[in-house]
Amino acid sequence: MSDWWRGAVIYQIYPRSFQDTDGDGIGDLPGITRRLDHIAALGADAIWISPFFTSPMKDFGYDVSDYCDVDPMFGRLADFDALVARAHDLGLRVMIDLVLSHTSDRHPWFRDSRASRTGARADWYVWADPKPDGTPPNNWLSVFGGSAWAWDARRCQYYLHNFLTSQPDLNLHTPDVQAALLDVARFWLDRGVDGFRLDTINFYFHDRYLRDNPALPPELRNDLIAPGVNPYNHQLHLFSKNQPENLEFLRKFRTVMDRYGAAAVGEVGDAQRGLEIMAEYTSGGDKVQMCYPFELLQPARATAARIADTFARLDRAAPDAWPCWSYSNHDTVRHATRWNLPEAGTAAYATLLMCLRGSVCLYQGEELGLPEAEIAYEDLHDPYGIEFWPEFKGRDGCRTPMVWARDNRQGGFTAADRAWLPVPPAHLARAVDAQAGVAGSLLEHYRAAVALRRAHPMLRDGALSDMAAQGDVLTFRRSGPGEEIFVAANLGPEPAQVALPPGDWQGIGETVGGAAPDGGRVALGAWQLCLAARAPDMGR
């Protein structure tokens, strides 16, 4: 099915923290294979595995030194092949995380590039001469803080790094670089993967003329992409990313994927134009199939008004764009903590996510309601957190090990005395074996919400219309051939009354604790939804 991705529920796995099988305290590919039954039981359509490629792990796999091999800490290529086979047996598609904007400084390509200004790969990375006073060629800043330029004494030039200095940016203006990256995609597609999550998809190209980014007025700054203490927020990143040349490369990438029936979801990292870029990259049917912006990953809670505004902006940008929504991932504070949600609130947002137009990403442990872990400074691994501690504590708090067993101090994650990150004692009570089969548990709620989406195709792929916010209540319709669904979501702690549109509506949300319509109205409790359906030609 070529459009399997439309409305799919994709489960993100952070491999270091999912399941350890060799006793070193670090998760691995055989561990993922062992736990795939849990994901299948959740009802997911696909998995997304964060990077497991050969890497010095300065940024935990997002600094690749070999795109076509598995880092020994995670296993071997044969382990990956076994994972894909088992996933496919369970009906799960497999998506892997490709980091195409940059590599590790230990990648052979970079070693060749820095060795000479005239070698075969001299222009595979972004090199520039200093200004006459020896300072960097322009004012671009790194997401991880400081200048985006690092001096290299071998070439006596600066190289661009939008992230760590050990993550030099590839120069996709060079045709050979594009060809090499497309070959990487083919390598994994030939091994049976069904698609990709494309890291920092809008960072692939830089401005050829290396023009300075303009300053961003204080009133327009936000912390969607970088923490507020990071000077990265002081610029409008007009020239260091989001370049128009990216569109043609994405078309080439789509051509490769289409030959395999594969799909991609791109990460759009932009604090000002994320929605518009996402719409640009996914509209027209000739680039990537879906992207996720940061609107539902932001620090501020996704209120009814914010969600309605997000969909209105998306509709104006490109009605045929296809988003992929998520509340949590490996880079953000877990949303149960970030939004200070009670258990009922976490459940309500889970149901809402399954009702929105677009695809869905769930992050491991989200289905258990895991809160953000408090990590002591001495236990930190994340270079981002170490750099900005204590005002920003980094990303380790959302990357702690998955908890499978409540009666094991490592949560069933590892047989080692210590995991690579500590397992918070508070997480143990939320372990899989403490919630599976338990009526009213958050895990069972997620399973029911995913099942509801599967049972009603309009929730996966129907049109969305009439979205409106009134106070804490968000209302909208999903519709298409054969069915129309009305959704009312109370995203707050106070009861609310909602009038249904005219027609003969029947409640369909009882499996997720939804309120039942009563005549033309519904009484919503705190953090409660109503889902009602009717045939599309009724009541008109």
pLDDT digits (tens, 9 = 90+) for 112-127: 999 999 999 999 999 9
For residue 411, is it left (φ>0), alpha (ψ between -120 and 50) or beta? left
Three-state secondary structure call for residue 315: helix
Please give the single-letter amino acid code of residue 360: V
Report CA torsion sign: 359, 362, 363, 366.
positive
Within-domain flag for 472: yes
- Provide Rg for the chain, Cα atoms: 23
Q: Which amino acid is at 498?
A: V
What is the token pair recorded at 439? 């009526």
User: How far apart (Å, rounded) are the C-alpha atoms in residues 263 and 315?
Assistant: 22
Q: Exactly one of 63, 79, 267, 366 is catalytic; name it.
A: 267
Which residue, chain included where needed, has tokens 């990487």? 184
Express each pLDDT in 305-320 by its tens digit: 999 999 999 999 889 9
366 is catalytic: no
Q: Amino acid identity of 469?
A: A
> Mind listing the pLDDT tens digit for each residue in 495-521?
999 999 999 999 999 999 999 999 899
3-state DSSP helix/strand/coil % of the chain, to nearest 5: 30, 20, 50
Other C-beta atoms within 10 Å of 422: how many?
A: 18
Residues sharing a CB contact under 8 Å with residue 455, sequence separation 6 or more, in sequence order = none
Does some domain include residue 506? yes
pLDDT tens digits, one per residue of 382-421: 999 999 999 999 999 999 999 999 999 999 999 999 999 9
Task: Concatenate the DSSP letters of all residues of 416-469 into one string.
Answer: SSS-SS---HHHHTT-HHHHTT-TT-HHHHHHHHHHHHHH-HHHHH-EEEEEEE
Position 537 confidence tier, pLDDT thresholds 50, 70, 90:
low
Q: Which of 208, 181, 12 is nearest to 102 (CA)?
A: 181
- The answer as to whether 410 is a domain residue is no
Token output for 276: 């518009």
538, pLDDT greater than 50: no
The mean per-residue pLDDT over the stretch 318-339 comes to 96
Dist CA 333 CA 224 (whole Å)? 12
Element (H, E) at 1: none
φ, ψ for residue 452, nearest 5 deg: -60, -40
Instruction: Output the six-digit token pair for 10.
Output: 């994709």
Catalytically annotated residue among 199, 270, 366, 472: 199
Which whole number is the average pLDDT over 321-333?
Answer: 96
Q: Are 367 and 44 in contact, with CB atoms under 8 Å apart?
A: no
Residue closest to 86 by CA, chosen among 22, 31, 4:
31
Please tell me what DSSP assigns to residue 378.
Answer: G
Q: Are 514 and 329 in contact (CB under 8 A)?
A: no
Rounded Cα distance between 345 and 289, Å, is 31
What are residue 489's DSSP bridge partners? 474, 529
Mean pLDDT of the chain: 96
Instruction: Say whether pLDDT at 331 is over 60.
Output: yes
Closest among 291, 249, 286 to 270, alpha carbons compared: 291
For tokens 């912390």, what's the residue?
223
Q: Provide the CATH number for the domain around residue 469.
A: 2.60.40.1180
pLDDT grade, residue 173 (50/70/90)? Answer: very high
Q: Is residue 255 part of a domain?
A: no
Number of domains in the chain: 1
Separation CA 323–CA 289 (nearest Å): 9
Residue 374 carries which DSSP code?
A: P
Question: What is the percent of the chain where pLDDT is above 90?
Answer: 95
pLDDT at residue 539 in the model: 43
Edge-first strand order for the sheet with 127-128 is: 127-128, 157-160, 149-152
Do the domain assignments include residue 252? Answer: no
> Is 484 in a helix, a strand, or coil?
strand
Give me the pLDDT at residue 460, please: 96
Global pTM value: 0.97
Amino acid 490: pLDDT? 98
Q: Evaluate whether residue 232 is within a structural domain.
A: no
> Which parts of 137-279 are beta strand (E)?
149-152, 157-160, 195-198, 263-267
d(CA 341, CA 301): 9
The per-residue pLDDT for 536 is: 77
**How many CA within 13 A on the CB side of residue 85?**
7
pLDDT of 68 > 80? The answer is yes
For residue 485, give its domain range.
462-534
- Enumerate the β-bridge partners of residue 149: 160
Cis peptide before 383 (omega within 30 of 0): no
Res. 226 pLDDT band, cuts 50 70 90: confident
Phi and psi, residue 94, nearest 5°: -120, 120
Percent of residues, the chain, with pLDDT higher than 70: 99
According to DSSP, residue 147 is labeled: B
In a domain, 315, yes or no: no
528 in Cβ contact with 515 (< 8 Å) = yes
The string of pLDDT tens digits covering residues 136-161 is: 999 999 999 999 999 999 999 999 99
Single-letter amino acid code for the residue at 111:
R
Residue 2: band (very low, low, confident or very high) from pLDDT cuts 50, 70, 90: confident
Q: Does a structural domain hold residue 7?
A: no
Using CA atoms, how far apart are residues 368 and 40, in angstroms rounded to an integer?
15
One-character DSSP codes across 148-188:
SEEEETTTTEEEE-SS-TTSPBB-TTSHHHHHHHHHHHHHH
227: confidence class by pLDDT, cuts 50, 70, 90: confident
CA gap 101, 120 in Å, rounded: 20
User: Which pair of tokens denotes residue 108?
Assistant: 């052979």
194 assigned to active site: no
What residues form DSSP beta bridges with 300?
A: none
pLDDT tens digits for range 450-480: 999 999 999 999 999 999 999 999 999 999 9
CB 479 within 8 A of CB 463: yes
